[in-house]
Structure 1
C-alpha cells in the first residue's frame, strides 16, 4: 500500500479530554439528532425513547465486538474475520412487508421540503459522510502577523508545455499565440495525488545495541496510525471489501488509539466492526455544507434526490439480504406516496392526488447509485423498470449511514444546529480538520478567542495527527496537504477546470490585492466585468474543451463554483463575489514598493512640481 512521507515520523499528541463537549456524535454528546431503529425494534414504530435504547444497544454491541479481537496484533481475530473472507449473517426470513424507520422517514420529508442549500446542510448534518477538504502546495513559513495578501506565497511558475508533452486533460497554450509571451501556469503541475511524496530509499541502518529499540519498529505504528486517521477523515465509511479495503486492517489494528484520538480532538465517534469502520462526523453548521454528488457523473443531489435516498434507506435498515426491486418500490409508495418515484403511471396512480410534481425516475437513480457507492446495495438493475431484479442489501451498512445516536430533532433547522454544536475548542478543531482555511472573522466571539489563544498549539496538534502543514497568517489558519490526498477538491490540480481556475484566481489577486493599510485583513469585492474579462483572456490564450469554448457561461459557472467550494471566494448580496485572503497564496509575491510612476498600484513618493501634471 502506498504511503506518503507525511505518515512517517509522527509523534503522539498530548492526550486529554475537554470537559463539557457537546454536539456531533462523539462521547459526551449532550443531545443526539437522528433516530435509526435497531434490530430489536424491527417491525414496530416504537417511541423515541425505545428507538434510542435500541440503537445505543447496537452501538455498544459493535464496540464490544471490536474490543474482543483487540489482542490480535494483526487486527484480525481469526481466518474467518480476514478481509475478503465469507460473511455469514445467518438465515433470514423473507419479509412480508417492509416497515420504514420513523426517524429516517421524517428526515425524508424534511429533505423534500428544503431549499437546495438547506438540503445540502441537512445531508451534512444527518449523514456526516463528507470528506475533508484542504488546499494543496506546501505551507510557506512566515510571520503569523502578516496578511495572506502580503505574505509569502505558494506560487510556482512553470513554463508552458509543448503540445506533444501536454498532460491529458490539462491546459495548453494556443498554437496561434506561439509567438506571444508565455503564460505562466502557476502551480498547475501534472501528476497524481501523492506526487510530493519522497521516494523510498533503501539504506543500511547502523547497528544498535541489543537493548535499544529498532527505529523502524518504533516509527511503523505511528505511520500506520496516521495513514488510518487520514483514510477515515477522507472516507468516513470504510469497508473490508470496498475501494479502500487495503487500509481497513490498519484501522482495525489501531482502532482503540484512533477512537480515543478522534473523540479527544474532534468529538467524533468511531465504530469499528469486523467488516466496516464508520467515523461519525458532526455537522458543519448552516452554510458550510458538503453536497452529495452522483458517484459516476458528479451531478449534485437535489432535495428530491436526498428525499429518495433517505426514503429508501428508511426501508433498507430492516430489509432482508435479498430484496426484489419491485418490493422496495412498493414499500416506498406505501410509506410515503407523495415522495415515491413515478416509474410508470400504472405503478403509482395515487401520486396524481398526492403530489403536484411527483419525483421522477432520475431521482431514484441518484439515490440508488449513492447507496451502491456506500455498499448498502449490491449490483443495481440495468433497466430501472426491471422490478423483478433482486437487490442485495447490507443492513449493517444501512444502519451505519446515519451519523447520530438516536434522538429526534424538532425540525430540519434544529437538526442542523444540534449536529454542529460543540465547545469552542472542539468546534474550531473540526473546522481546521475539515475545511480549507479558518478565518477569525467568520467565527463567533468565543471560538475566535480560543483560536487566538491556541493558534500555535491547536493547529499543531491536528497537523501531527493528520500529517498536515499549518500556515498561520493574520486572518487565520490553514492546514495544508501538499500530497493532495486528504481532500476531495485539489488546488493546484490536474485537468482543464482546475488549471483554468488556478489561472483565474492568481490573476484576480494581482488585479484587486490591497496594498498595506488598505483593508488588508478582509475580503475584497470582485467586479463581474473583471471576472468575465479574465476568463476571456484565459480562453483566448489556451485551448479549452469544446463545451467551454462554445459556452463561456459554463466556464464561469464551473470555475467560480470550484473557488467557492474551496473557500477562496464567497458570495454576498451587495456584490457578486468577494475574494478571500487565502486566495493570495497562489498568486505571485506582491511588489509592495514598486517604482514610482509604474504599475497599477504605485503611488507618487513626492508631490508634483508646480506646472506639471500629477
Structure 2
C-alpha cells in the first residue's frame, strides 16, 4: 500500500484537485491520485479489508448528514494523546512526513595550500591525495562562522587554544552549489564552464538548474500549492514532474504526487529519536501530544467534510468522535484551547482550512470559552489537501511504535541516502550493520549522486559524511543563526570542543562525554563575556537555566550533541565549528616565531707585522 493511502481500505481514484484556496471539489477533474475511503462497489485489490483492516469498535456511528471520522486517523489521534512528547514528535514525522530537510550551511574553510572554490572529488585510489577516511572531524578543517563580539583574548594557559587550521583539509564534491549570500531557492549561479557553453547547450543548463530548484523546494517543503508561499516554484515542479518523480523514487523511495494545484512529496518517517517536531507557524512554540492529537482528530473529520463547514459543527464533531481528546474547551484549567489553536494554526498554514477566526489561530480562542455551540464562523475546507497530509500507514500499524518502525523501513542504500538528504551529518557509528557496510562501499558515489541532485557539497570525514548547503536554504535550522540562543549555542560548542576534544592520535569514537558542570561553567562564562555587549535578551541573562535549555536544544537538533542516560555527549561534527587542536609549541617553533639567528664567530685575524701574536 502506498504511503499516501492512509485510510482503512483506501482506494486510489481520480478526483477533483485543490487550488489551495477553495474547497476540496477543486476546479476540474484531473488525473491526480487521491486517497479516499473504500468505495461502495467493494474493496480495491491490495487494500486492507476484513480482518486485515483494523476497525475501532469504540468509534460512534455518525447519523446521516453528520461528520464521520476516518477510523485510521482517529486511532492515530488516540496514539498521539497517549504518547510522551518525544514519541509524539516521532509519530508526527512518521505519519505526516512534512518535516523539512536539515543541513549544515558553513563549509570548512580551505587552507592556504588548497585552491579556492569547489574541486573535483578526491580519488581514493590515488595515494598522493589525502583520503577522506584519514581525516577526522575532531582535527579536520573548521568552519569559522561569525558571532557577535568575538573579542576575548587567546587563552594563555597550557592546553588547546585557538590556532591555525589543519592543512590537510579535504576537497569537497563538486555539486554546483552556489556561493554568495543565502537566498530562498534561487537559481544556482553558473560556473565559468557552464557560462562558456555554446547557445544550443544553454537550454540543457537551464533545465538542470530548474530541476535542482524544484527538487530543493520539495525537500524543504513537501507540500507546495499553486497559491501558497512557494507558488513561484510550483510551475517548475509541474514542468519537470516526470523527472522529479523518477529521481525521488529512485534515490530516496519518496512518492511524488503532482496535480494542477498542489504537489506532495510523501517523505518516509526518519525513525525514532529523529528530533523532528511540528511548531506553531507564527510563534515557533513546539507541539504537545495534545496538540498533535487534536490535529489528527481534525484531519479525521476534514478528509470527507463539505467545502463550507461551520466552525461550531466541526468542534462538536471532534468532541463527539472522542470526548477525551476533543476540543477541550470550556471552563477549567485545561490546556485544550491552546492545543486546539496550535492544530488549527497548522491546518491554516497548510491551507487545509481557510477563513479561520483570528483569535482561534493566535491561541486566544475567546469565542470558544463556553462550548462548541457558541463558536461562530464558517470555514472553507480543502479536502484534497486534507487527504494529502497523511503519509504514513496508520491503518496497518499495531501501535505508535509499530507505525514509527514501519514508516522508516527501507533497504540499506535507500535508508542511508534518506539520512544524507534529511539530516546534517551521517555518522557510521549510528547506522545498523547493513547500512554501515553500504556507506563504506559507496562512500563517494552515494553522497555524490545526492549532491548533484540537490546542489549540495559532500564533506567526507573518518566518522561519516555530511552534505552541506552553503546557501542555507535547504534547512529549517541554521548555525550560526540570529538570536541569543543561537549565538550562545555556537560559542558554547566552540569552547566545549576546546575543552574535551581528543588529542591528535588518541583513539576515540564519534562521541565524547561532557560533564554537566562544564556546560554550566562555560555557558556562564559566555554569558558574562558576551551577554550585555552583544545585546542578548535580558530574560536569558537573568535565567541561565532557560538559556542552557534552549542552547542545548538547538545543538541537539543539529546533531552536534546527543544525550544518553549517563549524560551529554559531544559529537565529532561539532569540531567543525571550533578551532583545530594545536598544543602550545616549544619556544621558537611556532608559525610566526622568529628563527634563531645563525651566529658565526669569526676566526681571529692574523697579527700584523710588528704586533705581538
TM-score range, shorter chain: 0.7 to 0.9
Match of 1:422 among 405, 410, 413: 410
Shift of 1:203: 13
SS at match of 2:358: coil
Equivalent residue number for residue 387 of structure 1? 375
| Matches for 1:441-456 after TM superposition, within 5 Å | 441-456=429-444
Shift of 1:519: 3.0
Match of 2:340 among 346, 358, 364: 364
Equivalent residue number for residue 510 of structure 2? 522
- 2:288 maps to 1:302: yes
Equivalent residue number for residue 268 of structure 1? 254
- 2:245 maps to 1:259: yes
Distance across 1 between alignment mates of 2:89 and 2:461: 30
Shift of 1:290: 0.7
CA contact (8 A) 2:23 2:381 kept: no
CA contact (8 A) 1:139 1:470 kept: no
- 2:140 maps to 1:151: yes
Of 422-431 and 293-302, deviating more is 293-302
- 2:527 maps to 1:539: yes
Of 396-405 and 116-125, deviating more is 396-405
SS at match of 2:429: helix
| Matches for 1:365-514 after TM superposition, within 5 Å | 365-383=341-359, 384=365, 385=368, 387-404=375-392, 407-514=395-502
Distance across 2 between alignment mates of 1:463 and 1:290: 23
Equivalent residue number for residue 42 of structure 1? none
Distance across 2 between alignment mates of 1:367 and 1:261: 33
- 2:217 maps to 1:231: yes
Distance across 1 between alignment mates of 2:249 and 2:285: 33
Q: Report the TM-score when normalising by structure 2.
A: 0.75
SS at match of 2:305: coil
SS at match of 1:261: helix
- 2:98 maps to 1:129: yes
Shift of 1:492: 2.2
Equivalent residue number for residue 575 of structure 2? 584
Distance across 2 between alignment mates of 1:323 and 1:340: 17
Shift of 1:596: 8.4
> Judging changes above 3 Å, is the alpha-carbon distance between structure 1 residues 597 and 441 closer, same or farther for their aligned structure 2 residues?
farther
Distance across 2 between alignment mates of 1:171 and 1:281: 37
- 2:550 maps to 1:558: yes
Count the aligned residue pairs: 500
Distance across 2 between alignment mates of 1:521 and 1:126: 34
Shift of 1:118: 0.6
| Matches for 1:34-45 after TM superposition, within 5 Å | 36-37=6-7
Distance across 2 between alignment mates of 1:360 and 1:205: 58
> What does the per-residue CA deviation read over 1:408-429, in whole Å, with 9 as the maximum and x for residues that have no partner?
2111111100000000000000
- 2:50 maps to 1:109: no
| Matches for 1:147-296 after TM superposition, within 5 Å | 147-156=136-145, 171-172=148-149, 193=183, 214-296=200-282
Distance across 1 between alignment mates of 2:389 and 2:83: 20
SS at match of 2:459: strand
Shift of 1:151: 1.3
Distance across 1 between alignment mates of 2:247 and 2:579: 38
> What does the per-residue CA deviation read over 1:495-514, in whole Å, with 9 as the maximum and x for residues that have no partner?
33222211111111111110
| Matches for 1:308-319 after TM superposition, within 5 Å | 308-319=294-305
CA contact (8 A) 1:139 1:469 kept: no
Shift of 1:577: 0.6
Distance across 2 between alignment mates of 1:362 and 1:198: 42
Aligned Cα RMSD in Å?
3.6
SS at match of 1:461: helix
Equivalent residue number for residue 567 of structure 1? 559
> Judging changes above 3 Å, is the alpha-carbon distance between structure 1 residues 99 and 472 closer, same or farther for their aligned structure 2 residues?
same
Shift of 1:493: 2.2
> Judging changes above 3 Å, is the alpha-carbon distance between structure 1 residues 554 and 451 closer, same or farther for their aligned structure 2 residues?
same
Equivalent residue number for residue 98 of structure 1? 67
Equivalent residue number for residue 320 of structure 2? 334
CA contact (8 A) 1:317 1:399 kept: yes
> Judging changes above 3 Å, is the alpha-carbon distance between structure 1 residues 89 and 470 closer, same or farther for their aligned structure 2 residues?
closer
Unaligned runs of 5+ in 1: 1-30, 38-47, 67-80, 159-169, 346-351, 600-614
> What does the per-residue CA deviation read over 1:444-478, in whole Å, with 9 as the maximum and x for residues that have no partner?
00000000000000000000000010001110000
> Judging changes above 3 Å, is the alpha-carbon distance between structure 1 residues 243 and 99 closer, same or farther for their aligned structure 2 residues?
same
Distance across 1 between alignment mates of 2:100 and 2:441: 28
> What does the per-residue CA deviation read over 1:294-313, in whole Å, with 9 as the maximum and x for residues that have no partner?
11111111111100000011
Unaligned runs of 5+ in 2: 29-63, 111-129, 165-179, 360-364, 369-373, 591-613
Shift of 1:517: 3.2
Shift of 1:32: 5.6
> What does the per-residue CA deviation read over 1:9-33, in whole Å, with 9 as the maximum and x for residues that have no partner?
xxxxxxxxxxxxxxxxxxxxxx666
Q: Which has the larger radius of gyration?
A: 2
CA contact (8 A) 1:128 1:403 kept: yes
Distance across 2 between alignment mates of 1:121 and 1:388: 34
Distance across 2 between alignment mates of 1:580 and 1:423: 26
